């Protein structure tokens, strides 16, 4: 999981009709190494959880799919 294409991804979870935030640590081939079982109402809570896990993977970038890209 420590290859150069691995990354944390923050994304929306709307399966239950409410927008929640989740994250996953995945590789370029879409394999998931870690993910959150909890859906967060606040993005800041999701980001704080990433920071806890990121201590084991300090070089992994975070890609936020919840912001508009131009």
Query: How much is the pTM?
Result: 0.79
For the record, the structure tokens of 52 come out as 């806890």
How confident is the model over 5-56, as pLDDT tens digits? 789 999 999 887 888 999 999 877 777 878 888 999 999 999 999 999 999 8
Better-scored residue on pLDDT, 59 or 16? 59
Interacting residues of 32 by C-beta distance below 8 A, sequence separation 6+: 24, 25, 26
pLDDT-based confidence at 69, cuts 50/70/90?
low
The CA-CA-CA angle for residues 29, 63, 52, to 5°, reads 100
Characterise 38 by phi-psi region: left (phi > 0), alpha (psi -120 to 50), beta (else).
beta
> What domains, with CATH codes, occur in the chain?
7-64 (3.30.160.160)
For the record, the structure tokens of 32 come out as 């998931």
Question: Is residue 3's pLDDT more than 80?
Answer: no
């Amino acid at each position: 999981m420590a290859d150069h294409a691995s990354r944390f991804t923050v994304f929306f979870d709307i399966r239950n009709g409410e927008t929640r935030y989740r994250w996953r640590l995945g590789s370029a081939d879409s394999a998931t190494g870690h993910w959150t079982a909890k859906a967060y109402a606040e993005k800041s809570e999701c980001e704080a959880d990433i920071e806890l896990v990121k201590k084991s993977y300090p070089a992994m970038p975070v890609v936020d799919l919840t912001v508009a890209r131009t």
